[in-house]
Amino acid sequence: MIKSLPVLVLASTAFLILGGLLGWVIARLLRSNREQVVASGPLTAEQELMIDEPAALVVLMEVPRFGLDFRQLEFEVIQKASGQSTKLRYDFVRGQGAVYGLTTMRVPLGRIAVQGPGSYLVRIGGLQPGTDYARCRIMFSRPYLGRMVLQIIAIVICALGMLLSLLLALWQVLPLQQG
């Protein structure tokens, strides 16, 4: 026995639309996370990275999720054409903006302003001899935190809307017990 067919159809339609929207927002989040990285390289004492576009970039370090070896490292980013140097190191407050994956985390070190395309030399001080840094990477990324917050809020809203529309649909179909 259905209490109200129009309410059931409306709740079912809302559930399907919100489900499709939820899938689209999740796919957009994953795609934009992949596209945000401008340049990356292994964590070695000195390396050269090419950046093709001028922008304000976030310097990140990708490390194993439970690794703490990176906190004593010092980074120097030098633009080869102009010789301009920026020094960075881990900061506890800035480190709270880390993005966690299943096995790794991306820890922000700071921001640099790239005026033009070119080659950038990255020097890393404090690397321990004999320590394996094969699972660690240095990355230059577009700013991401604001975009990710909005996308996560959209995911939560879609999921709550789906739950509420499912409950409304079930309320229209299932009989209530009289107490």
Taking domain 37-143, whether its CATH number is 2.60.120 is answered by yes
What was the pLDDT predicted at 95?
A: 63
Q: How confident is the model at residue 9 (pLDDT cuts 50, 70, 90)?
A: very high
Residue 155, Cβ density class (10 Å: 0-12 exposed, 13-18 middle, ≥19 buried): middle
Q: Which residue has the higher pLDDT, 121 or 17?
A: 17
Contacts by 9-14 with C-beta closer than 8 Å and gap 24+? 11/165, 11/166, 11/168, 11/169, 11/172, 12/165, 12/169, 14/161, 14/165
Residue pair 117/26 in contact by the 8 Å Cβ criterion:
no
Tell me the domain boundaries of the chain: 1-33+159-173, 37-143
Q: How confident is the model at residue 45 (pLDDT cuts 50, 70, 90)?
A: confident
Range of lowest pLDDT (36-50, 91-105, 145-159): 91-105
Residue pair 83/130 in contact by the 8 Å Cβ criterion:
no
Kindly report the pTM of this predicted structure: 0.68
Residue among 130, 114, 100 nearest 59 (CA) = 114
pLDDT tens for each residue of 120-177? 889 988 888 888 888 888 998 888 778 888 999 999 999 999 999 999 999 988 877 6
Residue pair 37/139 in contact by the 8 Å Cβ criterion:
yes
What was the pLDDT predicted at 144?
A: 75
Residue pair 51/140 in contact by the 8 Å Cβ criterion:
yes
The DSSP code sequence of 30-87 is HHHHHHTEEEEEE--SEEEEEE-S-EEEEEEEEEETT--GGGG-EEEEEETTT--EEE
Residue 11 predicted with pLDDT over 70: yes
Residue among 43, 168, 157 nearest 106 (CA) = 43
